Structures are given as C-alpha cells and as structure tokens.
Amino acid sequence: MDEEMKQYMDDMAVFEEKYEELLESPVYHFLQPEKERILLPLLSILHKHHSFRSQAYRLVDKLFKWDDSKALCNYPYLAVRLFKEFELKSISDDQVYKVLHSSGTTGQSSKIYLDKETAQLQTKVLTRILQHWLGKSRRPMLLIDSPHTVKKTGGMTARAAGLQGLSFFGRSHTYALDANMNLDIDKVSNFFEQFKGQSVLLFGFTFMVWHSFIQQLQKHNIYFELQDSILIHGGGWKKLQKASVSHQTFKQQIQTQLGDVRVHDYYGMVEQTGTIYMECEQGFFHCPVWSDIAIRNPVDLSFLPFQQVGLIQLTSVLARSYPGHCILTEDLGYIVGEDDCSCGLKGKYFKVSGRVPNAEVRGCSDTFS
Amino acid sequence: MTPFPDLAEHKDIKWHIKAPHAPASIKPWSDQLILEVDSLARFLLQHKISKEYPEIVALGFWARKANLLKMLPGQARFKEAKKTPAVFHVGPANVDTVFFYSFLLSVLAGNQNIVRVSNRSGALVYQLIDLLQGFFYQYANSEFEQLISIIEYPATSTGVTVTLSEWANMRVIWGGDNSIDAINHIAPHANQLTFPDRYSIALMQIEDAEQIPQAVEAMVKDLLPFRQQACSSPKAIVWWNTSEQLQNAFFLQLNQVLANKENGFDMRDQVEQFVDCQRMVITHKPAVKTIEHNHITCLDLDKLLPDYFDIHTGHGLLLNIRVDTLDSLPYADKLQTIAVFNIPDAMQNELMTNHYVKRVTSLGKALSFQHIWDGVDLCEAFGQLTC
C-alpha cells in the first residue's frame, strides 16, 4: 500500500506540472495528433487517480478490456446516468466544496461533487473558452432568465451555475424575465436604450430565449437595432424540435427582432461543467484543448467513423474530484471532421442530433398509479 | 347475485365495459360459457388487428375450446354458489396481457369480474378493450357479457379502490411488489391473489452445433416479447455440459437473428443494457469474466446470485454462467420459471422436487400462459369462491 501510495503521489505531482502548462495553452490551436500527445499522459494519470480513489470507477473498469494509452477515448467510461443513481466522487466527504445538480425536470438529477480545486479549474477553463469568443472586455449583459433562478436556495442547479458562470463575462447585468418567467418589456427596452450603439452580450437557455424572449417580442411587434452583439445560448433543442423550430428559423428570427447579433449555441452538461463546446459560425461544436469527443455505435459500442450518428462520448481532463473524465452520454451526434473546419479552429468538430428516446417499460412489474 | 358496486359519487372513473345487469347465478365451466369464450377466441384470431399483435394471437389460441377443456377442473371441486362471487382484478399499466388470461379463467369459473386498467395503459390494453367491445356487439346477451366490466381510474382515487375491494369476494393484483404494497395500504383484503416481483432463467445444454438454430429460435421467442421485462422472461442463461465454443456459437447466431428482427432490441434497449451492467458491478461487485455488447449484451460471470436480478431491467441483457451441478442455480422465492433446453427429464424433475422451482417449461414457451401460474392453480382459486 505504501508503494502504491508513493507511486500515486509521484504521478499526481507530474500531473500538476503538466496541467499548469495545459491550462495556459491556446483553446483551439492544436492539431488532433498533437492534442492527443498532450492529453494522453494526463488522462493516463487521471485514470489511475480515479481507480485509486473511486471504488465505483474501479469496479466499472473491470467491464472494459482495453490497452492503456492507445487512444484518448479508449479509457473506461461511465454511463452518464450513473451520476443520477450513485454518489460518485474521488474525494473524501470533508473535501466536498460544492455539489452541482442537473436541472432535469423529470426523474432524478445528477449530483456532481466538486472540491475547491476542481471548482476553480472549471471556472478557469470556462473563462478561457469564453474569452476566445468574447475577448477580454466585459459587455453590458442581458440574461434571459429570472433573478430568482439563481437565488433559489438548496443545491445549485446547472441552470443557476450556468447563469452565474456566464455573468462573469458581462457587466451591468439585467434579468429580462420577472419572478413568474414573464418578459419584462420595460426593463429590456431600458437596457437596450441605455447601451444603444454598444456591443452587448445576451445569454439564456435555448428554449427560454425562444419562448419567453423572441416569441414575446414578435407577439408584441417589438424590434431593436443592436450592433455587433452576441447571444450565447445552450441547454438543448428538444423542446424546440417538438415545436418544429429549426436552427435557421431560430437564428433568423433573433436577427429580425434584435438586429446585428451573432448567435452561438453551446453543448455541455453538468457532468463536465466548465468544458463547454461552443458553436462556430459554420454551425459546428468545437472541442477545446482539454477535451475530446468520440462517437460509439450503440449496438456494440465500437467507434463510428466521421459523419455517422451514434452515442456521444466525452473525455475531459478537468474532472478530478469525481470520475467524470470519460463519460458515455445518451445524446446522439456525429463528428463532422477534425482540424479542417472552415472557421479555422483545430481539433474535432461535431453536430448533436438529439437524444436516445426513453426505453419502453413493459412487463409484469409496475407501480400502481 | 351480488349487487353492482355503487360508484356514483366518483367523478374520475371511466367504464370501458359495464355489465348490463348483475348476473343470476351462473354455472361454472358450463358448456355455454366455454362456447362463448371459444367464440371470443375465434373472434380474436380472425380479426385483422391481430396480425399486428402476436400477444393477441397467443391469447386467442389459448382461449380456444380445445385448450380450455384441458384446464377443466374436476367438477367435484365446484360448490355451486347461491350468489355470483365477485372478483376485482388490478392489471399492470405496462400491460402484460397476463391479467386478461386470469380474468377469463375467473369468467369461466362463473364469477362476476371488474377489471381495473390504469390510465397509463399501453396501446395493447386499449386494443383488447376495443376487440372485446366489438365481440359483445356481435354476440349480445351472452352470459359472458354479464360477468365482465372494465373500469379505468387513477390510482389517486383511493375511494374507488376501497369500494371495489369491499365489493369483491376476491381481489387479484398483478404488477409486482410495489403495486401490491400500494393497494394493500389503501384497502387490505382478506382473500387475494397477488403476483409479486419474480425473475426467470434458462437452463441449457448444447451438445453439438446442429442444435444451435433450434435453441436460438426458442430463446428469441422468450426474449423479445415485453422487451424481456416479463417475470417469466429469461434474464440469465445457465449452461450445463456445454463447451465454451458452442456457447459462443450460440450467442453469435442469436445476435445474427436479432439483427434481422424488425421488433428486435434497438438503441434504446442497448443503452439500458450498458447502464444495467455498470449498475450491476457497482452494486453487487460480481466477478466479471467477459462482457460482449451486441444486439443483446452478454455479461459472463463466475457465479449468479439472486440479488443480481434486482438490477436487471430487461432490454436484452443476458447474464451467463456455467454449472456442474443443479445446486449452483440462483434459487430464491423470487425465482419463477426455469426454461430448459435439452435438459434430461430427471434433472427437470430434480428442479421441481428437490429445489421447489415453481415452474419448469421448455425454452420458447416461457411466456405461454399456464393456468397454474406462479405456483397458484388459478382455475381452482377462482372456482372455490363462495359468498
């Protein structure tokens, strides 16, 4: 055990050193082979760390036959749903600094245990990613949500964490919705009036941006003439798909109501908070330097080639306090290519096409309801 | 006759089928009743909708006169009740058609039946109700019609559950442990048949490759209906006297056959298989030998314990072990069916007599309804009611 512990401490020391370097690396600069060369040793140590600290990860590891260090996405991966059912952490209880919850409205929510270090890392990395898109200046910021979302006590939801995390990148924060999630038209008009001619930042969850903001403006025939502004939105298209709103309609309608606004979707999940996948102007999500994506065939879990739709697997070297460095999501998507997106960013870029529908529940066992 | 329960004060009930009037005393297993159920069987088999639902075909096939006569209980067992006994059936929402079989047996026993279906019921339940309505329309004034009512109401309307339970001489609850607990909590009943959570397994021997296609065909029959979630669906394979090579060849062919099935396991199921395996190792820490993900997932283990089945949610996961002796099977109260393939009669008898297994049947017939279900002879249970 002492030997093992010593080896572990040595590994972690190496890790810290390389890590510092990586955190300062440019976000979308490395070609895929170079990126893998940088990430692999880190991931290998992270794998040992979680095997050492998390019994659940150690047990799940036994389900995989794999050879170390062949490829980034070859490391054992936890099913993302397990974070809803088990307390998965690689730290002791007294090291828990913050618990993040997914904001899922149905069923259980994921619980992600952060120590102070991991929480800081996540903030740092989110900052690095967003600065790439927003620059360092802080713009006046309109949040398409209610101030009450953040104020709610109890565990922190992913939505609140998102609002709080993003707030850092703006100033003069104004919430567009009231406590009942209705659009406060006067407040929004005043905001745009006050910062007329300036570049502003808008942020909100995709469905709310559409339903509570853009559609309301449309209904009341209200138009603004923003200039050189940016809207960042995320949280998924499921509800909009149901309402048959396409990405194109979404963008067009925003520009019709608001004027000159660049629109960026992002993909991300509470299990890998901090690592967000921003959409470039070509409409593709890009992996930042700290993470990678692979697509697996749902039938036999083998890797699928580019352009083929399958389960999205995410790898991130940021998950340290919980074994979320490799996760298999229930989202469907495909890799469009690597290193050659016409937007100029390097690494893999991808599209998300939906989510695996819930499996059919049948059979004899049931709840009386 | 037993007066019909008064549910006038309850607003959120819906009668899909309501018996026209309370029946006079009806003779159990009378020629007339058997004839009428046989007519229903023919009606179901001839209806074009049956082509879409193999479950309905199976039901129709089972309810034919020739098959019913095989179940005919000894006449001496019946006391002719002065009043018609009343039975309240609670079916599961994710219908297993199994409750339909049980109320038909209760009808044949001459009981008056009210069946509660959930407002979460699947398409198959409503299809069966439609067919039954169509049948009654064609065969008006049957004895059968007087004995069957189908009601839908939410579980939150506990008053309805209480009234129907008080009305009934016997209550039947399908739907497993959770449903039984919930209903007992609302209204205890002194005389009830309950069908709690169960799991089932397959015991197989393959001696040469020629037996494989037959074994695969039988396994597919038991695996696919209800997405492997019925209490009788085999959740594990226990191999006896079979080489590893033949086991692998079996799984290879099984996956090939499933790949070509239209209603085979799909992406939704495969995600569940994967999640179940991870859930299983974290919860029960079994010694895993190998795992093969394909149309089904085969999780090969060193041993098989009854607890493992708590984690198994169906969807095409097969646990896999080898045994040298029948002592190494996961016996427990919750073990219901062992579906056997190429297992000598002596061993099958041993399962029943030495290990008290509730049901041993041929692989491929695990889901066929038998009137002795879960160790309970339903004909006898429904036939002995008095009031």
Task: Tell me which residue of B86, B339, B303 sits closest to B203, measured CA to CA.
Answer: B339
Domain that holds residue B258: 199-362
Angle of helix B98-108 relative to helix B54-62, nearest 10 degrees, comes to 20
**B336 CB within 8 Å of a chain A CB:** no
Task: Show Cβ contacts of residue A25 under 8 Å, excluding neighbours closer than 6 positions.
Answer: A38, A289
Q: Are residues A215 and A141 in the same domain?
A: yes
The fraction of chain B above a pLDDT of 70, given in percent, is: 95
Report the mean per-residue pLDDT for chain A: 89
Q: How far is Cα B379 from Cα B359, in angstroms, rounded to an integer?
A: 17
Does B179 sit within 8 Å of A368, measured CB to CB? yes
Task: Show Cβ contacts of residue A96 under 8 Å, excluding neighbours closer than 6 positions.
Answer: A89, A113, A114, A115, A321
Does A301 sit within 8 Å of B229, measured CB to CB? no
Q: Are residues A56 and A144 in the same domain?
A: no
Three-class secondary structure of residue A343 per DSSP: coil
Torsion of CA B70, B75, B76, B81, to 10 degrees: 130
Does B293 sit within 8 Å of A365, measured CB to CB? no
- Write down the residue that tokens 């690689």 correspond to: A90
CA A219 to mean position of chain CA atoms: 32
- B224/chain A closest Cα distance in angstroms: 11
- A221/chain B closest Cα distance in angstroms: 42
Given this model, what pLDDT does residue A107 score?
A: 61
CATH of the domain at B334: 3.40.309.10
Q: Are residues B183 and B207 in the same domain?
A: no
Count: domains in chain B? 2
Does B98 sit within 8 Å of A362, measured CB to CB? no
Residue A114 has pLDDT above 90, yes or no: yes
- Indicate the pLDDT class of residue A49, thresholds 50, 70 and 90: very high
Does residue B4 fall inside a structural domain?
A: no
Helix (H) or strand (E) holding B259: helix B244-259
- Indicate the pLDDT class of residue B308, thresholds 50, 70 and 90: very high
Domain boundary among B196, B230, B265: B196
Identify whether the C-beta of residue A290 lies closer than 8 Å to the C-beta of residue A318. yes
Does residue A103 fall inside a structural domain?
A: no
Q: What is the pLDDT of residues A228-282, one digit of tens each?
A: 999 999 887 878 888 888 888 999 999 999 999 999 999 998 898 888 999 999 9
As a whole number, mean pLDDT of residues A166-189 equals 91
Q: Which residue of B has its CA nearest to A312?
A: B271
Q: Which residue has the higher pLDDT, B1 or A127?
A: A127
Angle of helix B98-108 relative to helix B31-46, nearest 10 degrees, comes to 150
- B256/chain A closest Cα distance in angstroms: 12
Does A62 sit within 8 Å of B288, measured CB to CB? yes
Asked which of A156-165, A208-217, B199-208, B370-379 is least confident by mean pLDDT, the reply is A156-165
> Looking at A35-155, which runs of residues are DSSP E strands?
78-79, 98-101, 111-114, 139-144
Does residue B219 fall inside a structural domain?
A: yes
Q: Are residues B142 and B187 in the same domain?
A: yes
Does residue B343 fall inside a structural domain?
A: yes
Q: Which residue of A has its CA nearest to B90?
A: A368
Residue A345 has pLDDT above 80, yes or no: yes
- A275/chain B closest Cα distance in angstroms: 24
Strands B234-240 and B297-301: unpaired
Given this model, what pLDDT does residue B76 score?
A: 46
Mutation choice for B interface testing from A311, A368, A369 by most B CBs within 10 A:
A368
- Indicate the pLDDT class of residue B96, thresholds 50, 70 and 90: low
Q: Which backbone phi and psi does A96 adopt, to 5 degrees? A: -70, 125
**A14 CB within 8 Å of a chain B CB:** no
Residue A69 has pLDDT above 70, yes or no: no
Given this model, what pLDDT does residue A264 score?
A: 95
Q: Are residues B87 and B219 in the same domain?
A: no
Q: Which residue of B has its CA nearest to A60?
A: B278
Token pair for residue B364?
Answer: 């491929």
A357 vs B contacts (CB less than 8 Å):
268
Residue A181 has pLDDT above 50, yes or no: yes
Q: Are residues A143 and A228 in the same domain?
A: yes
**A63 CB within 8 Å of a chain B CB:** yes
A365 vs B contacts (CB less than 8 Å):
92, 175-178, 197, 229, 231
Q: Which backbone phi and psi does A332 adopt, to 5 degrees? A: -110, 140
Angle of helix B212-223 relative to helix B244-259, nearest 10 degrees, comes to 50
Q: Are residues B97 and B112 in the same domain?
A: yes
Domain that holds residue A344: 2-84+284-355
Q: How far is Cα A223 from Cα A216, in angstroms, rounded to an integer?
A: 11
Q: Which of residues 206-245 of B touch A (CB under 8 A)?
A: 226-227, 229-231, 233
Residue A214 DSSP one-character state: I
Does B94 sit within 8 Å of A361, measured CB to CB? yes
Three-class secondary structure of residue A98 per DSSP: strand
B294 vs A contacts (CB less than 8 Å):
299-300
AA letter at A190: N
Q: Are residues A128 and A261 in the same domain?
A: yes
Does B154 sit within 8 Å of A369, measured CB to CB? yes
Domain boundary among B173, B196, B219: B196
Q: What is the pLDDT of residues A275-326, one digit of tens each?
A: 899 999 999 999 999 999 999 999 999 999 999 999 999 999 999 999 999 9
> Looking at B174-327, which runs of residues are DSSP E strands?
192-194, 199-204, 234-240, 288-293, 297-301, 317-323
**A62 CB within 8 Å of a chain B CB:** yes
CATH of the domain at A345: 2.30.38.10
As a whole number, mean pLDDT of residues B325-349 equals 96
- Indicate the pLDDT class of residue A20, thresholds 50, 70 and 90: confident
Q: Which residue has the higher pLDDT, A18 or B258?
A: B258
B293 vs A contacts (CB less than 8 Å):
299-301
Q: Which residue of A has its CA nearest to B283?
A: A56
Given this model, what pLDDT does residue A1 score?
A: 61
- A235/chain B closest Cα distance in angstroms: 22
Report the mean per-residue pLDDT for chain B: 91
Q: Which of residues 66-125 of A touch B (CB under 8 A)?
A: 78-79, 81-82, 85-86
Q: Are residues A215 and A339 in the same domain?
A: no
Does B282 sit within 8 Å of A59, measured CB to CB? yes
CATH of the domain at B35: 3.40.605.10
Given this model, what pLDDT does residue B328 score?
A: 93
Q: How far is Cα B50 from Cα A326, in angstroms, rounded to an integer?
A: 47
Q: What is the pLDDT of residues B24-39, one digit of tens each?
A: 778 888 899 999 999 9
Q: Which residue of A has its CA nearest to B125?
A: A362
Q: Which residue has the higher pLDDT, B121 or B202?
A: B202
Q: Are residues B37 and B170 in the same domain?
A: yes
Count: domains in chain A? 2
**A65 CB within 8 Å of a chain B CB:** yes
Given this model, what pLDDT does residue A155 score?
A: 55
Does residue B382 fall inside a structural domain?
A: no
Q: Are residues B341 and B232 in the same domain?
A: yes
Q: Are residues B220 and B354 in the same domain?
A: yes
B280 vs A contacts (CB less than 8 Å):
none
The fraction of chain A above a pLDDT of 90, given in percent, is: 62
Task: Tell me which residue of B314, B286, B313, B310 sits closest to B300, measured CA to CA.
Answer: B286
Does residue B313 fall inside a structural domain?
A: yes
Q: Are residues B150 and B210 in the same domain?
A: no
Residue A347 has pLDDT above 90, yes or no: yes
**B275 CB within 8 Å of a chain A CB:** yes
Does residue A7 fall inside a structural domain?
A: yes
- Could you give the C-alpha distances from B1 to B84, B254, B387, in angstroms and in order? 5, 54, 10
Residue B5 has pLDDT above 80, yes or no: yes
Domain boundary among B150, B170, B196: B196
Does residue B368 fall inside a structural domain?
A: no
Task: Show Cβ contacts of residue A135 under 8 Å, excluding neighbours closer than 6 positions.
Answer: none
Does residue A96 fall inside a structural domain?
A: no
Question: Which region holds residue B316: left if phi is over 0, alpha if psi is between -120 and 50, else beta?
Answer: left
Q: Are residues B238 and B177 in the same domain?
A: no
Q: Are residues B206 and B354 in the same domain?
A: yes
Three-class secondary structure of residue B65 per DSSP: helix
CATH of the domain at A219: 3.40.50
Domain boundary among A210, A235, A267: A267
As a whole number, mean pLDDT of residues B154-175 equals 93
A298 vs B contacts (CB less than 8 Å):
267, 270-271
Helix (H) or strand (E) holding B16: strand B14-17
- A367/chain B closest Cα distance in angstroms: 5
B282 vs A contacts (CB less than 8 Å):
56, 59-60, 82, 86
- A295/chain B closest Cα distance in angstroms: 14
Does B291 sit within 8 Å of A367, measured CB to CB? no
Does residue A107 fall inside a structural domain?
A: no
**A5 CB within 8 Å of a chain B CB:** no
Q: Are residues B210 and B171 in the same domain?
A: no
